Structure 1
């Protein structure tokens, strides 16, 4: 039985708050073109053990970024709040939103889409988009 890490976070203006329960302090970097377009670089996120408790829902905007996923943001300040799969309770929360400094970069996904102009020095688990989709039961052309 693992101990869940509880972390609190909020958007820049404070209108939306997140309370998250995490299985661990592992951070994943997503190099897909959509994440890079969304945030100007790779998405550095932690995965919630269960859906986060979100306060300030009237300031929460949702964008359907694909047939299988949505992205949440604050409609007031634009802060990116989460990426979630529609078919399962999988939430990826940008690690910079959350309190704490005990994070560890553990994996990189969509490694085949990572541009050549940056790289991380950490040794990480690296998955292609097809390998990631297979882990979540999604077709690789979704």
Structure 2
């Protein structure tokens, strides 16, 4: 596994700034129906752990999307800011929000059984079903 790095970024209107202290420098794709509905396609996100600071809190709204997670977005411009696990407060943040020159690697695709047929990534990645995700990381469906 790659060593964690510090990264920062902003939403589209720049009213929310994200500072993540321990970002794992790899990108993962989630193909679950909820992520596809939320993002318009698969969600390409990075594991940022729980050490994340947001400036512009007054512009952040959250949506309680499941028993185990909520999703945050900028209420001014609508930018998707995070998917956060409730139990561990672990943030997964869309990769495109970060301003970076760090080399990133696309490593894993999850909920692969829910991926629609109309797209396919060429990258060779680890593929996990939803059942495998819940078994590996705990929680329930």
Q: Which residue of 1 aligns with 2:131?
A: 130
Q: Note the C-alpha offset of 1:23.
A: 4.6
Mean alpha-carbon deviation: is it higher for 65-74 or for 18-27? 18-27
User: What is the TM-score of this pair, normalised by structure 2?
Assistant: 0.93
Answer whether contact 2:18 2:54 (CA < 8 A) is retained: yes
- Please give the alpha-carbon distance, in whole angstroms, between the structure 2 residues aligned to 1:83 and 1:51: 14
- Is the alpha carbon distance of 1:124 and 1:3 closer, same or farther for their aligned partners in structure 2, counting shifts above 3 Å? closer
**Aligned CA-pair RMSD:** 1.3
- Please give the alpha-carbon distance, in whole angstroms, between the structure 2 residues aligned to 1:109 and 1:131: 9
Q: Which residue of 2 aligns with 1:80?
A: 80
- Is the alpha carbon distance of 1:97 and 1:23 closer, same or farther for their aligned partners in structure 2, counting shifts above 3 Å? closer
Determine if the alignment matches structure 1 residue 29 to structure 2 residue 41: no
Determine if the alignment matches structure 1 residue 67 to structure 2 residue 67: yes
Unaligned runs of 5+ in 2: none
Unaligned runs of 5+ in 1: none
- Please give the alpha-carbon distance, in whole angstroms, between the structure 1 residues aligned to 2:23 and 2:59: 27
- Please give the alpha-carbon distance, in whole angstroms, between the structure 2 residues aligned to 1:96 and 1:59: 19
Q: Note the C-alpha offset of 1:55.
A: 0.7
How do residues 1-142 of structure 1 correspond to structure 2 at under 5 angstroms?
3-101=3-101, 102-139=103-140, 142=141
Structure 1 runs of 4+ with >6 Å offset? none
Answer whether contact 2:69 2:85 (CA < 8 A) is retained: yes
Q: Note the C-alpha offset of 1:63.
A: 0.2
Aligned residues: 139
- Please give the alpha-carbon distance, in whole angstroms, between the structure 2 residues aligned to 1:24 and 1:67: 25
Answer whether contact 2:49 2:92 (CA < 8 A) is retained: no
